[in-house]
């Protein structure tokens, strides 16, 4: 997944650099560059999210976890974090699939690329489901994250 995200990041960066050159030097911008770059970055973020959650590399404020010294209470805090994250990702997945379905039903497409928005929303919803599964795996693993805090 990180390779895919890296490729998307590279493509987005190159696309923006080419577009800046074309727009400001040749005065001929690429019409698709801004929209495609935006979708590449959004998909990159959501494709990486489950991987980052599974490996505890996601941005997290761990101040309370670093203060607590007892492994038992640290494990409890990790599980509380997991339950909250699991609940939020489940809600986001349900809402995401609902938005994707509505977009498909209404044939909503992107402005320039003419891609079905339902497909893009569906990708995000699937990534939320994978993140939720990642947290289920984390919470069932003995000693989850206790060595990293």
Backbone angles phi, psi at 27, to 5 degrees: 60, 35
Residues in the chain: 149
Q: What is the DSSP string of 25-73?
A: TSS---TTHHHHHHHHHHHHHHHHHHHHHHTT-S----HHHHH---HHH
pLDDT over threshold 50, residue 101: yes
pLDDT tens string 60-89:
767 777 788 888 888 888 788 888 888 998
Q: What is the pLDDT of residue 95?
A: 93
pLDDT over threshold 50, residue 148: no
Predicted TM-score of the model (pTM): 0.73
pLDDT tens string 124-142:
899 889 888 888 887 787 5
């Amino acid at each position: 997944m990180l390779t895919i995200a890296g490729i998307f990041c590279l493509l987005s960066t190159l696309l923006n650099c080419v577009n800046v050159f074309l727009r400001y030097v040749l005065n001929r911008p690429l019409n698709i560059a801004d929209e495609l770059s935006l979708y590449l970055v959004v998909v990159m973020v959501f494709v990486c999210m489950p991987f980052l959650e599974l490996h505890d590399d996601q941005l997290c404020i761990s101040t309370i976890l670093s203060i607590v010294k007892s492994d038992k209470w640290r494990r409890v805090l990790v599980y509380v974090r997991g339950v909250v994250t699991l609940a939020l990702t489940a809600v986001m997945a349900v809402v995401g699939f609902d938005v994707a379905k509505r977009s498909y039903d209404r044939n909503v497409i992107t402005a320039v690329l003419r891609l079905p928005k339902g497909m893009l929303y569906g990708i995000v919803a699937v990534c939320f489901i994978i993140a939720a599964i990642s947290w289920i795996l984390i919470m069932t693993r003995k000693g989850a994250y206790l060595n990293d805090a």
